[in-house]
Structure 1
């Protein structure tokens, strides 16, 4: 095992012990897919841990394990398809609703809380006296215990400005001396990017993160539930191939010659 992997596992063990001894939630920095595989193997091998698996709909079960003495663990990156995720440890008494948005918890999506933010033009709820419809929806913000937050970066020129790449944003962030583990997924928009970060560096970025490349940025700190993951376009194709060789499949799906596939 490489030295970096040993350090990672030692850090994870330390976070688990802190959670168990102090009876408080702890978390690692963002882990990439290889690091997550190591962390997952560690969690599965530790019988004092209950590793919560993500359901197909991107939510987590919220089991009641009070009195069991076990620590719960889960990987969370801000949204269902997140590639980079932090490993969060929760003591037995903790409820997931204290750390994750309701949209990430099975059966909690329809909770009504005073903290819900009204947003217009979402769901019709009542008819006004003049016969028009009043449309209001409630967005449930992430609880205070959530270790992640969202930085919305807007390019100075708006949608018409030069579109920056993932490399532009990541390079400029690391140029500020920020470690990679403090930065989660970066989702590019037409007018900027949604950048998931550890909550502890959000204020620093708001003050110091002014440019990506040569493009000026305007930043705002937003709730993780305001993340814009974009629209995924899926095209279903039906074709007949001579065999299930990979080059045949790639050639068919992407309309390429077999030599290029």
Structure 2
């Protein structure tokens, strides 16, 4: 299947078509030059779309975000002779600041955007008390080390660190045990986001809900253990377990909601 046919079949929007076209170009580059080629950082939603294209096009690719459990990742397209991606295009930075200054992810992202740094050149932003670790592309690392002096009014000290030095904040989750009449998306979303099923159905129909990082507007879509459900303005949760059925015909579920 040629490039145009793949894009016509897979792309759901003009923006996604451009993304997938760039990925196909990277795959072709790796094959033609016989050297690895990588994309910029991709969001989970973008990674999901790219995975489908990889399957369809038969490409060899590895996602890497610099550490296990990373959310934003690059796709490294590999030539036939290469078994693993070493992550040579990724670098790791630490921004130190006074603990009294309670900076957040938004503060750092806003500062980077204000400096003209493209979002796709920066991976995960890991904020702790008094420090923030980042995974970035090699192309912007030296600029940030030399030029990034503050976030808002807070002074920063930026230096490079090794991947093993990254401080990854512990993910906070709330476990929700519940029973539902059906494993439909609207029923499970209502449980996970603590709202009525009618409200969940409206949210889904409006296009604000994603199932495994892809927009889903069908409330009757069946979900299963391992699925991740997100909603703009409400966060995300994972279906950790699907249990047995009660005497009243309701199915037990265990959800892990990220807080």
TM-score, normalising length: structure 1: 0.62
Match of 1:151 among 81, 87, 93: 93
CA contact (8 A) 1:19 1:91 kept: yes
Aligned equivalents of 2:61 and 2:70: distance in 1?
A: 17
Aligned residue in 1 for 2:163: 224
- Choose from 128, 131, 150 the match for 1:211: 150
Structure 2 partner of 1:88: 76
Contact 2:176–2:192 (8 Å) recurs in 1: no
**Contact 1:75 1:88 (8 Å CA) reproduced:** yes
Residue ranges of structure 1 left out of the alignment (5+ in a row): 50-71, 101-144, 252-260
Report matched runs for 1:71-150 at 5 Å.
Answer: 72-96=60-84, 99-100=85-86, 146-150=88-92
Give the Cα–Cα distance (whole angstroms) in 2 for the partners of residues 25 and 171 of structure 1: 32
Query: Which residue number in structure 1 is paired with residue 32 of structure 2?
Result: 21
Counterparts of 1:94 and 1:195, CA distance in 2: 27
Q: Contact between 1:28 and 1:88, CA under 8 Å: does it hold in 2?
A: yes
Equivalent residue of 1:81, what SS?
coil
Query: Which residue matches 2:15?
Result: 4
Pairwise CA distance, 1:230: 2.5
Superposed CA RMSD in Å reads 2.5
Q: What is the SS of the residue equivalent to 1:151?
A: strand
- Alpha carbons 1:27, 1:89 under 8 Å: kept: yes
Residue 49 of structure 2 aligns with which residue? 38
Deviations 1:136-170 (A, max 9, x none): xxxxxxxxx52111110001x2x3x2110111000
- Aligned match of 1:191 in 122, 130, 134? 130
Q: Which runs of structure 2 are paired with 1:62-77 in the superposition (5 Å)?
A: 72-77=60-65
Query: What is the CA-CA distance between 1:92 and the residue it aligns to?
Result: 1.5
Q: Aligned with 1:181: secondary structure?
A: helix
Measure how far apart 1:95 and its partner are: 3.6
Higher-Rg member (1/2): 1
Matches of 1:250 and 1:16 in 2, distance apart? 39
CA contact (8 A) 1:163 1:192 kept: no
- Alpha carbons 1:151, 1:222 under 8 Å: kept: yes
Q: CA deviation at 1:232?
A: 4.1
How far apart in 2 are the matches of 1:153 and 1:215?
Answer: 11
Aligned counterparts of 2:192 and 2:173: Cα–Cα separation in 1: 17
Residues 148 and 224 of structure 1 are in contact (CA less than 8 Å); yes or no, is this contact kept in structure 2? no
